[in-house]
Amino acid sequence: MKPSPFDYVRATNLTEALALLERHGEQAQILAGGQTLIATLNMRLSAPDWLIDITRIPGLSGITLTETHLVIGALTTHREIERSALVAQYAPLLGQAAPHIAHAAIRNSGTIGGSIAFADPAAEWPACCVALDARFVIQALSGERRVSARTFFRGLYDTDRAAHEIITAIEIPRERAPRRSVFMELARRHGDYAIVGVALLGRVDQGRLSDVAIGYVGAGATPLLAQGAMAALEGQAADADVLARAKAALAQDLDPSGDLYNSPATKRHLAAVLLERAVKQLLA
Amino acid sequence: MTARLPCPIPAHADLAPGADPTVVTRGHIGSPDPRPNARRLLQGRGTYIDDLRVPRLAHVVFLRSPHAHARILKIDSSTASRAPGVLGVFDGPAIAAICKPWVGVLAHLKGIKSAEQYPLAIERACWQGEPVVAIVAETRAQAEDARELIEVQWEVLPAITDMDASLAGDPVLHPELGDNICFERSVDTGGIDEVFAQADVVVEETFQFGRHTGVCPEGRSILADYNAAEHSLLVHHSTQAPHMIHDVLARHFDIPEAQVRVLCHDVGGAYGIKVHVYPDEICTVATSILLRRPVKFVADRMESFVSDIHAREHKATVRLAARHDGTILGIDLRDLTAIGPYSMYPRTSGIEGNQVVNLTGGPYRHQHYRAHMQAVFTNKNVTCQYRAVGHPIAVAITEGIVDLAAERLGIDPAEFRRRNLIPDDAYPYAFPSGVRFEQLSHQQCLDRLLELMDYEHLRADQAAARARGCYRGIGLAAMIEVTNPSAAFYGVGGARISSQDGATVRLEPTGALTVLCSVTEQGQGTETVFAQIAADVLGVSMERVRVITGDTAATPYGGGTWGSRGAGIGGEAVLQSARALRAQVLDAAAAILSCDKAQLDIAQDAVIDRLSGQTRLSLAELGRICYYRPDTLPAGFQSELVATRHYVPRDYAFAFTNGIQASWVEVDIETGFVQLLGHWCVEDCGTVINPLLVDEQIRGGVVQGLGAALLEECCYDDQGQMLNAHLGDYLVPMALEMPDIVCAHVQTPTRTSELGAKGAGEAGTAGAPAAVMNAINDALRPLAARVTAQPFTPERILAALGRV
């Protein structure tokens, strides 16, 4: 397994990387952490003419706090997020999800920006970002723009990012008091892509749920926001009837395709099981 | 220093005439000595084929059929031939011109048939992954680049992917064979219908087994170096059976046997995958001959999945008849298995089904048995012998139906087994399928297992868990296992595969020992076991024993490693050669010391006085005198400090072993996920030479069995495309999902050898899937759900529960 021949450039700053992307467009691939790209190159599933290594560009990595957002640089590794005290305080959902991403050695190289850009619906970060209502900072030579995670993911591996753009940061809204969160997924082996997973956020006041957000992993062509289930739970005490309504709403919210081992019906069943478990854990 | 256990070499009254009757306990046999080669491998200093660099080395890659069944209309390699670095592009006819085809049949498997097979497909490809074109270039990357430039015109043909459809024979895959049945076999003790008609209880079930494969850490690989000047061939090969490969290469390429050498370096796992003749490996040799250059082939992971042998695609329907008291009266079996488009060469693809017939019901004492097995051709990758050949199927069929009978009769599964397992005093014993057991220990193993796992405690835990809505289950699986195969396995069928092995032991001038053995090492610690035996017999320390295996130019001739034969057969050859050398060393010592040989013994690297234990002469001094100053020895005395002996079992076709496993699981009935809470294995491999290594073998085997039970399957669509030919989707068991695996041993040495060792390498794989299946079904019993199709995926469990 040897990759097709390609040219490799290590960009030393963002402008250089963006200029290279402008020039080579679809013929170029960005190397951020290599978690997925290196394997697909070796399997000749992707065969770019140019590989643009952005890993040494200063300023794209690290976790900081602004007045309004928790800002995670695109080149921040999964492992850094997993161990970050800021993340634990302001977006604990991410810390809960991180251990489910592959294995520690891989988490040391894979990056959140790479995961967002690749947009695998079975990956953890996209669903978390959708649930958290995060936005992505996207840079081109012509300027910078911000896109909501809830509109960024357009289809299977298809995003709002154009070929000449680079995601530079993930911005998560700061909350005065962070909501409770639960991340759960079902994978047959630790570290595998999940069959299905759920990211749940919410507040609990006297047994009633509010500000509920539910993101789903592996339940459609993109990470999904389960709006029907969110509405069913919002402002409610999660008794059996409410849970049943929320689970029933998933029928509309989710659109899983089957995989080798699980039919769409099995995935829907498992998604509902996870929702009930996640809600119960959130309330616990 | 590790604790030394007493040497368990049994003192036999029936030693060969003239044999040295003294066996002094030195303490290595029975001791958990760590593997000396582990340090080298862990430091990254192993040598695998991929590590080898030789001058003028070229690399070959293969264009493989993307179709399960297709006619090759035209191959255009004109552009590829001119691509950078390309040295040659070869199609089927070009390779066939210098290599004789083969047919994977054996005479003792009556009626087995297969078609002629060539290194590269000619005119027609019969499975997705069959090699069609070989591309040789200066580098692997160049060869892969050139491969993309080859254009093949295919005419896609209907693919046979379902075994029932294959049996129906429409179409017939190889028209010259008449039908799609590669091999079938029946056994009938007679009277089975009467037994079933009169039984108090009859249970029936159909079990299905998914195709899976052994995933070797080192892929299949070979470096062929043909020397035109002397018409000789040196092959560096990751194989289990170098002498078998040596013979195959000599015959198929018409090179005199003496001019072939097969050399194994470190072999990174094999599990039976690397004991077969693979078309791409033979083709690699052919390209070396055609190009007169050394050529290397290393299978990458994706092509491994479509070209390494698969195994275990079976569908078996079994019935069991019993009395009210639980006595098993008879078993009736029909097994259908699909083996791919060709029977594998030279061991054939008939052995697995044959073993299912031989072994089903094997631990129990019923006298009525009927079995019918058919192995049919399909357009999927070829299947052949993978670790525990046939055993996991036979054990799952047997133990699954036994549990069902116990449930129907309301008898505890452990008690049901106790009533039916062959008693330990019933040997020698002939099982109705025709196999013979020298001495087994089923009842002792069952007792030990129940004690080890604290069966009663687990049953109480299970009841308590159920009370809180948690579904846990216990599964038992008794088993018998074929080890130490004699010539009855292959030789009698005409296969040129040695069932005997040989060892040479040499005393070096420094008093060190060199052991050369025809049994090979794939990471399981075979060489350590040989060193322990030689060290014990000759009284030298382990550090002073060097073991050489895997070189047909150096070691005695033999079969290599397969069929759980390394320790039992190779070990006995080492024992006997070490004994012979020991007598020779004492002869030399007696000559040097001018004393009676009977007064001498060897211990701690020295010749000692037998009675007082005083050192008389170090082995180093003996070596110095014999090699460098033979002039000082008595006139007429010639020292011989090397001895070779061979061993092959003759009294029994196989040294059967036995054992029993238990699995303790928790099933999440909402998700169908199975958590393995614990696993136990008690087995009897006779003399345990190295408990550490035997336990490693058991645990590794169990893990492969757990993979089969829960995770591993080569998934194909109805067009014959393998859908998960990579490690992302083909799920091998990983450490985090594995339970603690507790091992214990009952030791019943075989009397067919002095060492008394039987095989242990396949026991874990044989019994683990059945234990897990029974545990899951035990957990699901209150919900009236059962699973019978491996692997037991969450979806299959949810389907059984009616939840999806």
> What pLDDT digit, counting tens, does each position of A209-229 carry?
999 999 999 999 999 999 999
Given the structure tokens 């077969």, which residue do they identify? B276
Distances (CA, A) of A74 to A13, A58, A88, B57, B682: 14, 11, 18, 44, 53
Average pLDDT over residues B370-381: 98
DSSP state of B570: I
Chain A: closest CA distance from residue B145 (Å)? 7
- Confidence at residue B170, expressed as pLDDT on a 0 to 100 scale: 85
Contacts of A189 in chain B (CB under 8 A): 711, 731, 733-734, 736-737
- Sorting pLDDT into bands at 50, 70 and 90, what band is B26? low
pLDDT, tens digit (0-9, with 9 covering 90-100), for B745-766:
999 999 999 999 999 999 999 9
Average pLDDT over residues A257-276: 97
pLDDT, tens digit (0-9, with 9 covering 90-100), for A140-152:
999 999 999 999 9
Given the structure tokens 């296992």, which residue do they identify? B481
Chain A: closest CA distance from residue B146 (Å)? 10
Cα separation of the two ends of chain B: 57
Q: Does A191 touch chain B (CB under 8 A)?
A: yes
> Do A266 and B715 count as a contact with CB atoms less than 8 A apart?
no
Can you tell me the distance from the alpha carbon of A158 to that of A167, in angstroms, rounded to the nearest whole number?
Answer: 14
- Confidence at residue B23, expressed as pLDDT on a 0 to 100 scale: 44
- Is pLDDT above 60 for B10? no
Q: B276 by DSSP, 3-state: which?
A: coil
Q: Are B107 and B495 in contact (CB under 8 A)?
A: no
Q: Provide DSSP, B183-215.
A: EEEEEE-S-HHHHHHH-SEEEEEEEEE--EE--
Choose the closest CB to A261 out of B300, B737, B793: B793
Contacts of A3 in chain B (CB under 8 A): 141
| Domains of chain A and CATH, by start | 1-54+63-175 (3.30.465.10), 180-283 (3.30.390.50)
Sign of CA dihedral B332, B338, B343, B346: negative
The CA-based dihedral angle spanning residues B241, B247, B251, B256, taken in that order and rounded to the nearest 10 degrees: 140
pLDDT, tens digit (0-9, with 9 covering 90-100), for B167-187:
999 899 999 999 999 999 999
- Confidence at residue A1, expressed as pLDDT on a 0 to 100 scale: 85
Distances (CA, A) of A131 to A172, A180, B512: 10, 12, 69
Nearest to A211 by CA among A223, A221, A201: A201
- Residue B204 β-bridge partners: B319
DSSP state of B569: I
Choose the closest CB to A1 out of B302, B737, B793: B302
Nearest to B313 by CA among B419, B393, B424: B393
Token pair recorded at residue B501: 């092995």
- Is pLDDT above 50 for B318? yes
% of chain B surpassing 70 pLDDT: 97
Give CA angle at A144 (A142, A146), nearest 5°: 140
- Sorting pLDDT into bands at 50, 70 and 90, what band is A232? very high
Give CA angle at A77 (A76, A82), nearest 5°: 105
| Domains of chain B and CATH, by start | 36-45+500-647 (3.30.365.10), 49-157+218-306 (3.90.1170.50), 387-481+653-800 (3.30.365.10)
Average pLDDT over residues B282-294: 98
- Confidence at residue B27, expressed as pLDDT on a 0 to 100 scale: 86
Token pair recorded at residue B124: 């027609």
Cα separation of the two ends of chain A: 49
What one-letter code names the amino acid at B483?
Answer: T
Can you tell me the distance from the alpha carbon of B804 to that of B795, in angstroms, rounded to the nearest whole number?
Answer: 8
pLDDT, tens digit (0-9, with 9 covering 90-100), for B779-791:
999 999 999 999 9
% of chain A surpassing 70 pLDDT: 100
Token pair recorded at residue A166: 């680079």
Chain B: closest CA distance from residue A69 (Å)? 36
Average pLDDT over residues B381-407: 98
Contacts of B490 (CB under 8 A, 6+ apart): B106, B346, B347, B497, B499
Chain B: closest CA distance from residue A186 (Å)? 8
pLDDT, tens digit (0-9, with 9 covering 90-100), for B35-64:
988 999 999 999 999 999 999 999 999 999
Q: Does A105 touch chain B (CB under 8 A)?
A: no
Q: B625 by DSSP, 3-state: which?
A: helix
Distances (CA, A) of A79 to A76, A105, A109, A174: 8, 9, 8, 21
Can you tell me the distance from the alpha carbon of A188 to that of B712, in angstroms, rounded to the nearest whole number?
Answer: 11
pLDDT, tens digit (0-9, with 9 covering 90-100), for A95-113:
999 999 999 999 999 999 9
Average pLDDT over residues B86-95: 98
- Residue to substitute from A261, A276, A277, A280, interface B, most B β-carbons within 10 A: A261
Contacts of B430 (CB under 8 A, 6+ apart): B436, B437
- Confidence at residue B4, expressed as pLDDT on a 0 to 100 scale: 37
> Do B803 and A2 count as a contact with CB atoms less than 8 A apart?
no
- Residue to substitute from B795, B797, B803, interface A, most A β-carbons within 10 A: B795
What one-letter code names the amino acid at B195?
Answer: V
Can you tell me the distance from the alpha carbon of A1 to that of A42, in angstroms, rounded to the nearest whole number?
Answer: 5
Average pLDDT over residues B97-119: 97
ipTM of the complex: 0.97
Q: Does B20 touch chain A (CB under 8 A)?
A: no
Token pair recorded at residue B677: 């809470």
Buried/exposed A231-251: b ≥16 CB within 10 Å, e otherwise: ebbbebebeeebbeebbebbe
Q: Does A240 touch chain B (CB under 8 A)?
A: no
- Is pLDDT above 90 for B89? yes
B 765-794 → A contacts, CB under 8 A: 793-794
Can you tell me the distance from the alpha carbon of B796 to that of B371, in angstroms, rounded to the nearest whole number?
Answer: 28
Q: Does A176 touch chain B (CB under 8 A)?
A: no
pLDDT, tens digit (0-9, with 9 covering 90-100), for B456-481:
999 999 999 999 999 999 999 999 99
Contacts of B130 (CB under 8 A, 6+ apart): B64, B65, B121, B279, B307, B341
> Do B795 and A261 count as a contact with CB atoms less than 8 A apart?
yes
Chain B: closest CA distance from residue A9 (Å)? 20
Average pLDDT over residues B636-661: 96
Can you tell me the distance from the alpha carbon of B653 to that of A243, in angstroms, rounded to the nearest whole number?
Answer: 64
- Is pLDDT above 90 for A18? yes
Buried/exposed B764-776: b ≥16 CB within 10 Å, e otherwise: bbbbbbbbbbbbb
A 39-78 → B contacts, CB under 8 A: 39, 43-44
Token pair recorded at residue A21: 């992307």
Strands B501-507 and B513-517: antiparallel
- Residue of chain A minimizing CA distance to B793: A261
pLDDT, tens digit (0-9, with 9 covering 90-100), for B128-144:
999 999 999 999 999 99
B 717-756 → A contacts, CB under 8 A: 723-724, 726, 728-729, 731, 733-734, 736-737
Nearest to B49 by CA among B290, B270, B250, B308: B270
- Sorting pLDDT into bands at 50, 70 and 90, what band is B16? very low
Strands B606-609 and B615-618: antiparallel
Choose the closest CB to B671 out of A189, A192, A273: A273
- Residue of chain B minimizing CA distance to A270: B671
- Confidence at residue B697, expressed as pLDDT on a 0 to 100 scale: 96
Q: Does B611 touch chain A (CB under 8 A)?
A: no
- Residue of chain B minimizing CA distance to A39: B728
Residue A173: half-sphere exposure toward Cβ, Cα within 13 Å: 12
- Residue B680 β-bridge partners: B662, B742
